Amino acid sequence: MRKNAQLHLLIESEILDHLRKEASMEEITISDLCRAKLNQNSRLARIESILTEINKKLSNKYHNTNDKTKKYIKSNVSISIAK
């Protein structure tokens, strides 16, 4: 995979000023900041897709066994979310 390709964008001046401020606060170049943001967004998209798959699997595990009694089958999966 090529890692030296260029991408030219036309962006609003306000957005560029915001990127400049953020890059100077983190003491990195604007291009490094943009690469970091793109990598972060792709990681978030992967995490979201994994969570969607887990949600689908769990919803299949917790299905109705009998419509009249409304009993549910539980899986042995435990999920905890740290705040």
DSSP secondary structure letters along 27-48: TS-HHHHHHHHHHHHHHHHHHH
* Per-position pLDDT tens, the chain of length 83: 667 778 888 999 999 999 999 999 999 999 999 989 888 888 888 888 888 888 888 887 766 444 554 545 555 555 555 44
Whether residue 52 lies inside any domain: the answer is yes
For residue 19, tell me if it sits in a domain. yes
Tell me whether residue 27 is in a domain: yes
Would residue 6 count as lying in a domain?
no
Distance CA 40, CA 3 (A): 18
- Please count the structural domains in the chain: 1
Q: Sign of dihedral through CA atoms 66, 69, 70, 75?
A: negative
**pTM (predicted TM-score):** 0.51
Q: What residue numbers bound the domain in which 66 lies?
A: 12-83
Is the residue at 7 inside a domain? Answer: no
pLDDT at 63: 60
Residue 83 confidence (pLDDT): 42
28 in any annotated domain: yes
